[in-house]
Amino acid sequence: MSIQMTRTTIGIALSSLLLAGMMLSGCGTKPAPADQGAGGSSGAPAQGGQTEQAKPKSWSSPPAMTIDTAKTYKAAVTTSQGTFTIELYPKEAPKTVNNFVFLAREGFYNDVVFHRIIQSFMIQTGDPKGNGTGGPGYKFEDELKTTRKYEPGIVAMANSGANTNGSQFFICTGEDSKNLNRTPNYTIFGKVIEGMDTIQKIAATPVEAGGEQVPSKPTQKVVIQSIAITEK
């Protein structure tokens, strides 16, 4: 299945989903490429009824490496539905973690919504436009050499194809996310270690049709309020 290259999406080919008897239609052939949600065949992230930020920050190139891969990093995420903590994987995905830490410290994710939600699959965020087409102004390469598997709690980058990572990411929320292990095309860079109840609360947000075969457009606004990075 093709994915709209203008969006960062997470998707699994519909054919595979149907064969597996899954209701992940909203997840295209890949798991969160530029329209990072769990969709692919329709690959378009839900707009979630959110408002675009007037002037989101933007850069012309990826940030310089500033993290120390010998250290441990955690991200404490505060949302309108509660808090959760992500353990980041700097040794396995140094460029991706460095990018996430940079954007978080810049306040890039503040007031950004979860624009695409498929409860049995994933929740997607990181787009300042709130519709799956936005990003930080640059792209960087994938980091796919890992033994980790997609499963509930895993945090990975959304993309619109190979080496098109930006700011959008998704968090696996249900068993359907494991189907991404068939085509592991999304860089895994962390896992939720505290607050999965918050993740599930967000995943339970009511959704409606938003251009995908599976409803994934939130009817209620769920927003990231802040992300605090700790380094040890």
In sequence order, the 6+-apart residues with CB closer than 8 A to the CB of 19 are none
Domain 8-46+65-231 carries which CATH code?
Answer: 2.40.100.10
Query: Residue 37 and residue 169: Cα distance in Å, rounded?
Result: 8
**pTM score of the predicted model:** 0.82
pLDDT above 60 (res 17): no
DSSP state string for 194-227: E-HHHHHHHHTS-EE-SSSSS--EESS--EEEEE
Q: What are the tens digits of pLDDT across the range 180-200?
A: 999 999 999 999 999 999 999
Cβ-count burial 175-192 (b if 16+ within 10 Å, e if not): ebbebbeeebbbbbbbbb
Q: What are the tens digits of pLDDT across the range 115-160?
A: 999 999 999 999 999 999 999 999 999 999 999 999 999 999 999 9
Rounded to an integer, the average pLDDT of 44-60 is 56
pLDDT score, position 54 = 60
Q: What are the tens digits of pLDDT across the range 172-181?
A: 999 999 999 9
